Structure 1
Amino acid sequence: MKALKKTNPRLSKLIFDLKAQSREHNVALWRDIAERFEKPARHYAAVNISKINRYSKENETILVPGKVLGTGVIDHPVTVAALNFSVAAEELISGANGKCMSIEQLMKTNPAGKGVRIIR
């Protein structure tokens, strides 16, 4: 079977950086996310705001290995890191005094991955 290569340069770099961060800080979280991104894109998570609201607590850090969609409401501030955000999702999270960030930014601010919850 032929090994497929990711054609998105941002995604290829992200996978490489996640694995490097995992080795450097001995954190299984980053290795897990890298392995999820190595799979086909049809397996990436697509999470609605309502699910984040249901499974998160106030001021918690949430990691979505995929895209955050804008269906639903959120009633507490959370920090959400994801591969992509819809425009509506960014507005809803910001409207609840939350913060949207990329996975790369999350790796820089929290290299040990402490207190991060994965929602898929």
Structure 2
Amino acid sequence: MVRKITKTNPNIIELIINLRKQSNQEQAAIWKDLAKRLERSNRRRAQVNLSKISRNSSVDETILIPGKVLGSGNLDHKVQVVALGFSKMAQEKIKEAGGECLDIATILEENPKGSNIRIIE
């Protein structure tokens, strides 16, 4: 069964299609789960503050946010944050803590099996 994508942003549509392909090729359920989360309406898309990432992650962990990362709170350890978007303040604070900000397409290429990635909403 093929789901009809009702998104209008061509970049998001392409990302969802690539996530589904990768999920089927690598037998990685994380990418199919992420595609379902990205198909939701924009109002239901995740917006996560740095304080929540800091509380729910450990050093050198890869955290995936199916939405936008906001800069409220502090990040006190190094993490790799993968998200659809970042606020300027969030990017600055993540880099100050020694972490890095990546987009979803990049991590899909670097880690095709989706191993050692935690999704936070």
Sort the TM-score into its range (normalised by shorter chain): over 0.9
What is the CA–CA distance in structure 1 between the aligned matches of 2:6 and 2:39, rounded to whole Å? 9
Structure 1 unaligned regions, length at least 5: none
Task: Specify the SS of the correspondent of 2:31.
Answer: helix
Aligned residue in 1 for 2:25: 24
Instruction: Give the deviation of 1:87 after TM superposition.
Output: 0.3
- Aligned residue for 1:17, secondary structure, equals helix
List gaps (5 residues or longer) in structure 2.
none
Which residue identity lines up with residue 91 of structure 1 in the other structure?
A: E
Aligned residue for 1:58, secondary structure, equals coil
Offset at residue 37 of structure 1 (A): 1.0
Whole-Å separation in 2 of the counterparts to 1:4 and 1:17: 13
Shift of 1:4: 6.4
1:100 matched to which residue of 2? 101
Relative to the length of structure 1, the TM-score reads 0.96
Distance 2:5 2:62 in 1: 32
CA-CA distance at 1:118 after TM superposition: 0.4
Deviation readout 1:27-84 (Å, 9 max, x if unpaired) = 0000000011111111110000000000000000000000000000011000000000
Per the alignment, residue 39 of structure 2 pairs with 38
1:14 counterpart residue number? 15
1:4-23, Cα deviation, whole Å (9 max, x unpaired):
62110110000000000000
The two structures, once aligned, show a CA RMSD in angstroms of: 0.9
In the superposition, the TM-score normalised over structure 2's length comes to: 0.95
Q: Which runs of 4+ in 1 moved over 2 A?
A: none
Number of residues of Structure 1 aligned to a counterpart in Structure 2: 118
Structure 2 counterparts to residues 1-120 of structure 1, below 5 A: 5-120=6-121
